[in-house]
Each structure stands twice: as C-alpha cells, then as structure tokens.
A and B are shown apart, each in its own frame.
Chain A
Amino acid sequence: MKTVFLTIDVEEWFHLEYLTKYNLNKDSVETVPKIFNFLDMLDRLNIKATFFVLAEIAYKYADIIRDIRSRGHEIGCHGLDHELLHEKSDEQFEEEVIKARLILNEVLGEDVVKGYRASCFSMDRNKLDILKRCGYIFDSSYIKFVQHPLYGHLDLSKYNKVDDLIYEKDGFYEFEIPTIDIGKFNLPISGGGYLRLFPYLLIKILLQLYSRKHDNFLLYIHPFELTNIRLPFPEKLPFKDKFRASVGRRHNLKKLEKLLLKLIKEGAEFKTIGEAIETSNTMEEKDELYFSNRV
C-alpha cells in the first residue's frame, strides 16, 4: 500500500442515523471528549489525519478541535448538522455549507477548512458542484456500495481519475471511500462499523486482497468507536440497532492501532487529504514546467 488516508468524522454518538428517531438522553454521555487517547496514539505513530467536524458541535468542543489542529491534523467539514443530504434542497445545502465552514474557521481562528464529507456519504452531483462553488477544494463522500440504503450514488462524470481513489475536475477533488469486490458484491472495508464488526484476521485478509489491485487506502472512524463508555440507549431500541452501535467498541482502539502499525510496517505513508492534493498539484506544476522547457 502506497498511501493511507486516515479520516475521522467528528460527531456524537446520538448522530447515528438509526438512533435519531428515538428520544435520546443526549447530555448524559459525551464521546468526543474521549478522543485524546486516540490523538496521543496518532502522535506516537507520527500519523496525521483528516478530521471532518460537524459544525453544530464545534462551539461546544472548540478546545478539542483546536487541539486536534495544533497536533498537525487537518480539519474538514462534516456539515452543519447530520441530516442526510437528500433531505435538503440545494439552496438549503448551500447556505449550510457556507455557514458550517464559517463556524469552523471562526473556532480555529484561521481559514483552513477546505474539505467536506457528507453525513452517511449521502452526497449527490448537484451538491458536489455547490461545494466547489462555495470554496471547498475536496470532498470525500463517494462510496460504491449500492446495497446500503442511505449511501449516495454519486455521479462523477467528467471527473478524471488522477490516482487510485482520487478523482479531479477543475481543481476540485473527490476522495473515494474504498470497497472491495467480492464476486458480484462490494464489501466496505474502510472502517466504521465494519472495522468494529470484522475480526482482525478477516480485516488483514481483506486488506491483502484489496492491496493487490490498489495503491491507496482510506480509513474512516468516529469518536464513539474509540471509547468503550456505555451509551445510554433508549429502552425501545431494537437489538439490531443496539448491536450495530455497540459491537466491537471495547477493543476497537487497540484493533485500530494494530492495523495502523501493520500498514506502517508494510511501508504505507499516511497523509492528510490536503497533503495529497498539494503533492498532486506540485507534481502537475513540475510536469508542466518540464514539458514547457522541452518545448
């Protein structure tokens, strides 16, 4: 594996889509403030990551977001709220992405938020174009997993594939969330609940299969998956949803560390998405210069 992009969607446990229809005790447990063990681990491993932050919790966790930034990580936007994008009009979306970016930049004290990830990867083409118009330079919501009812089906026509998982059009980039083809199915292997659910050995095997055809990998995770603090589920929550939210959380941080160490050992370079774009732009400029000199 050449390059790995580690990404974190900074949201609270109660933003999980399958929990939102219940009456939740949102104030009793916070998982975002349990993120520091994970941040310390990244420091130890010298890994820089991209954190997509939900703007509606930015003021509350301003100190944490600033600390993430001060450790050298990249901050992106995960939307103003966590509603699915197909429930928003284009006009509403445009207003919200502008506001969300302003909030995050205000908290950070600098204009650094350039990237976006849609809740539940629910991006569509119109809204992707809106992002570019609003000053973002990259998105990372594209996933080829049609079996999931919530994930978007993003049309990337006229986008050029510039590298494995990376698409570009007019200076705007889309970073794909990887899946692996197994027969006629696509299996997500990029993190989240799948990282928690699959035993480590299975993840190793799947990654090995994946790396035969791919140079780049992207991993995503959420703060609630990095702590084993007990979540206050409502009594009426079906077992299926309790299982989805809870499975594998207890040892997930250790499992993730093991996985990251394995990737480092195999020579993978960890980059933020912004770094990858910069490198790509620099390479393009060098190519242009080279060819213009030749002429």
Chain B
Amino acid sequence: MSYILVTGCNGFIGNRLTRALLEEGYEVLGISIEKETKIVHRNFKYISIDITDCLSVEKLFQENSISTVMHFAAIAHTKKGQKVDWNTFYRVNTLASKTIFDCAARVKADVIFASTVDVYGACEDSILTEKSIPQPVSDYGISKYLAENILKEIAEDKGINYLIPRFAPVYSKEFMKDAYKRIYLKYPKIGFIIGQGLKYHFLSVNNIIDLIVNWIKSDNKFIGIINVRDSEPIDSAEFINLERQFGKVAKIIRVPRWLILLIEFFIDSMYRITKNYKLLKLRTILYKIVNPNKYSIDKMEQLIIQKWNLRNTVCDNEKIINI
C-alpha cells in the first residue's frame, strides 16, 4: 500500500485536495501541525507533525511507503494572527521543504510543490511566463523561490518527477481574503476602485484540485514549473458591484490611478537614492496595484481546461450578473 503524502492536509487547499484524492480512490497520508483532523476516511491516515522537525519527517518516510508527495504546508502571511519574520518564513517554507524534497528523492517519489506567483515580485515583464526571471521581494515570495530552486536541483540530480505550480491568489466560496484585498480597504464596509477598475488574475481552488488530480492520473507527466490561474481575469469594478448585490460594501471610494502612480514614482525615486529594501517592497506593492500582473497560462492549458471561475465557485444565486 503506497500513500500520496499531503503536507498541510488541514489547510485551505490541502484539505480539499485530500478529500478529492480520497474520492478518486487514492490512499492518502495527511500531515499537519494540528493534533487532529476533521478528515475521516478508510483510506486516510493522519499524523500530526511539525515539518520543521526534520527527524520526525525522515522517520515518517522510513515508516510509510510514499509514492507521491504533495507539499502544501507553508506559512503564507501570519501565524496564529501574529506577523511572521524572515526567520520563520525561511525555516518553514524553505528549510522544511528541503527536508521533504530530500526524503522524497530518497524514496523516488513524485513531488508537487505548491508555489506562488509572488516569486515574480519586482519582475516587470508585461506578461509573466514561466521563463520570466523571478525577482521576489516579499519574504514569502523569496522563501518559496528558494524552495523551488532546491526542488529543481534535487529532482534533476536524483531523477524524480516534479511539478511546481505557481498559484495566483486563491479563492473559494469560504475564503476570499486574497481577492478582497484588491477591492476592500476595510471589509466589508469600505471598498475601493482604482480608476475605472483593473483586471486581476485569481485562482479558484477548484481549478487547483482539477490540475493536481489530472497530473497524478497522467501517464506522461509534465515536469517543471507552470503558472496557474483562472482562464479569465476578474474586473475589480464588476467584482465590487457583485459584492454590493450581496449586501456588502457600504461605501465605495474611487482612487484615481494617477495618484497611486505618483506615490509609486516618489517611492521609486527614494529607493533609487537610498537602496532601502523596505522602499522596494512598498514600491512593488504599489506598482502591482495599478499594473496587476498578467500570467501566461499556455502551459497550464495544455494540462487542463479550467472549468471554474468566480461565478461558479462562489455564487449560488443564478440571478447574479455574469462576471
């Protein structure tokens, strides 16, 4: 009996993925830091592990037969409501990932590593493809990019199959936090629109599940990095109107695009003089607000046809206006 190991099986994506794999008939070994899990299934085994405990992770691989590793455990923004520093991002997202990749390589397991479009950071290519050179700025993006490079090196050295999907901001019906950042100053009372509205790339969690399940079923696995997002962008003006129809958004503030550009220009000038890294981070955030990244998904579309979008992922009411 050989397991698919899902790290972070209690997390937002890991939980759904685990359930989908179980429905497909796979044996799944789930790990997470919590003592317990809500997933109950005859083909499911749960072990509580802190992935930074490398000796326990190694023991896990020695004691269980694992054919595939789906590594979703990570720190994204905050940990138990506390802001996270670089030390924690590095230890959890990079170093612990290295342990998992090394263990996977030893048992010749296939590896899927959940990465992020945050790795592109300050890269200003008009369309970000998998060939664009990442210039991560956030601690999260840097820690994920370091882990990507470690996986590529290990996989190429040991000859294992790997997939590194770089996810656009992910949403589900229950989790809209990353999407809401683009339209709410203060959820749910104060929304904002920049200019006439901007188009953002998001990613339905259901598209992730379809992609991963497809990959694992495939006999001829795609190896490498792919951008992953919904097929169509979401217009922020239309999105905020949709929210208004749900009775959210008490007030909308319209922010002229030129104002953000002016602030961004000022901060960019200050950065060029001072070389202060915090200014680069702030400048990148502002730049991305008015120039939302466009990610190429030519590679992704060779693997799956995205069925999911904001409407069919989030909306129940058929009368809602099409996005």
Contacts and interface: CB of A to CB of B under 8 A. Distances in A.
A64 B85 CA distance: 16
Given A63-B54, A66-B54, A37 B86 contact: yes
B87 interface: yes
B307 to A, nearest CB: 40
A66 B99 CA distance: 10
B5 interface: no
Contact of B55 (A34, A35, A36, A59): A59
Interface residues of A, number: 14
A67 B99 CA distance: 10
A135 interface: no
Contacts of B95: 63-64, 67
A63 B91 contact: yes
B205 interface: no
A164 to B, nearest CB: 35
Contacts of B145: none
Interface residues of B, number: 13
A64 B91 contact: yes
A134 interface: no
Contacts of B90: 36
Contact of A37 (B52, B54, B87, B99): B87
A37 B85 CA distance: 10
Interface residues of chain A: helix, strand, loop or mixed (majority):
helix
Contacts of A66: 54
Contact of B96 (A36, A63, A227): A63
Contacts, number: 31
A33 interface: yes
Interface in B20-70: 52-55
B139 to A, nearest CB: 11
A202 interface: no
A36 B54 contact: no
A208 B87 CA distance: 34
A36 B52 CA distance: 14
Interface string A59-101: 1101110110000000000000000000000000000000000
A59 B58 CA distance: 12
Interface string A35-46: 111000000000
Given A62-B54, A62-B55, A63-B54, A35 B87 contact: yes
B88 interface: yes
B91 to A, nearest CB: 6
A36 B99 contact: no
Nearest to B52: A63
B48 to A, nearest CB: 16
A43 to B, nearest CB: 12
Interface string B85-115: 1111011000110010000000000000000
Contacts of B99: 63
Contact of B87 (A36, A60, A62, A63): A36
Contacts of B53: 60, 62-63
Contacts of A67: 95
B114 to A, nearest CB: 20
Nearest to B91: A33
Contacts of B85: 34
A33 B55 contact: no
Nearest to A107: B55
B147 to A, nearest CB: 13
A59 B54 CA distance: 9
B276 to A, nearest CB: 14
A220 B43 CA distance: 53
A64 B99 CA distance: 11
Contacts of B96: 63
26 contacts: A33-B52, A33-B88, A33-B91, A34-B85, A34-B87, A35-B87, A36-B86, A36-B87, A36-B90, A37-B86, A37-B87, A60-B53, A62-B53, A62-B54, A62-B55, A63-B53, A63-B54, A63-B91, A63-B95, A63-B96, A63-B99, A64-B91, A64-B95, A66-B54, A67-B95, A227-B87
Given A34-B87, A36-B91, A60-B53, 5 more contacts: A34-B85, A59-B55, A62-B54, A63-B99, A64-B95
Instruction: Rank and list the top 9 A-B pairs by shortest CB-CB distance, nearest first.
Output: A63-B54, A36-B87, A34-B87, A36-B90, A62-B54, A62-B55, A63-B95, A67-B95, A33-B91
